[in-house]
């Protein structure tokens, strides 16, 4: 059997299976979740059935006749049940993430530090420069690692990072020759 014949046979088996199970799975999901999620979960279940077509019990190797629903539906219900559980877990993760983001935004940092000027300065950078700075400052990546994450060369990352830091310093009003956080008389004796 050629590869094309094999693909054709697999497609015919799946179409025969889908014809038998799509409507019952749709009803099954409608009774267990909101109407807005049914189509997505059903699509995911059908994708799993396509990928695991050889594992479906009761499905003949050659689609001479449609499969018997009593033979294939129980296993397909199990697939739909698993896909629904995955969708619910994903929804829960998204909800927890949104709640955490809202709590983080609402919470003022200790000492009442306001970083709105920093966020405004970051927003003034181009999107790629902003991402390079964030990867460097927030994620602690080296220019070589940033290059891997962004698809730029390490040299281009170093140049972008240097220029972006310079623009940020200018926008934040730190155009002095002293490194930030140092006092002029620091480390000197008072004699």
pLDDT tens column, 73-100: 999 999 999 999 999 999 999 999 888 8
pLDDT of residue 113: 59
Does one domain contain both 16 and 63?
A: yes
The answer to whether the CB of 121 falls within 8 A of the CB of 134 is no
Inside any domain, residue 184: no
187 Rama class: left (phi>0) / alpha (psi -120 to 50) / beta: left
The closest alpha carbon to 61, from 19, 24, 6, 3, belongs to 6
CATH number at residue 92: 1.10.1740.10
Does one domain contain both 76 and 151?
A: no
**pTM (predicted TM-score):** 0.54
Does one domain contain both 94 and 41?
A: yes
Does one domain contain both 97 and 142?
A: no
List the structure tokens of 156. Answer: 């281009």
Whether 187 shows a pLDDT value over 60: the answer reads no
Arithmetic mean of pLDDT over the chain: 84
Please give the tally of structural domains in the chain: 2
Does one domain contain both 77 and 144?
A: no
Whether 171 shows a pLDDT value over 90: the answer reads no
Domain that holds residue 161: 114-171
Encode pLDDT of 41-80 as tens digits.
Answer: 999 999 999 999 999 988 876 666 788 888 899 999 999 9
């Amino acid at each position: 059997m050629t590869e094309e014949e094999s693909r054709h046979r697999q497609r015919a088996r799946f179409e025969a299976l889908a014809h038998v199970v799509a409507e019952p799975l749709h009803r099954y999901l409608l009774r267990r979740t909101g109407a807005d999620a049914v189509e997505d979960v059903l699509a995911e279940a059908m994708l799993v059935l396509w990928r695991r077509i050889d594992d479906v019990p009761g499905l003949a190797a050659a689609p001479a006749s449609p499969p018997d629903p009593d033979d294939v539906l129980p296993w397909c219900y199990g697939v739909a049940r698993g896909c629904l559980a995955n969708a619910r877990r994903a929804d829960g993760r998204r909800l927890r993430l949104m709640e955490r983001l809202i709590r983080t935004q609402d919470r003022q940092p200790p000492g009442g530090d306001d970083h709105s000027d920093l966020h405004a300065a970051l927003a003034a950078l181009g999107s790629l420069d902003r991402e390079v700075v964030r990867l460097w400052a927030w994620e602690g990546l080296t220019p070589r690692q940033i290059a891997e994450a962004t698809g730029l060369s390490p040299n281009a990352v170093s140049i972008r990072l240097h220029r972006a830091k310079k623009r940020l310093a200018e926008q934040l009003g730190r155009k002095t020759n002293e490194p930030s956080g140092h006092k002029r008389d620091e480390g000197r004796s008072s004699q």
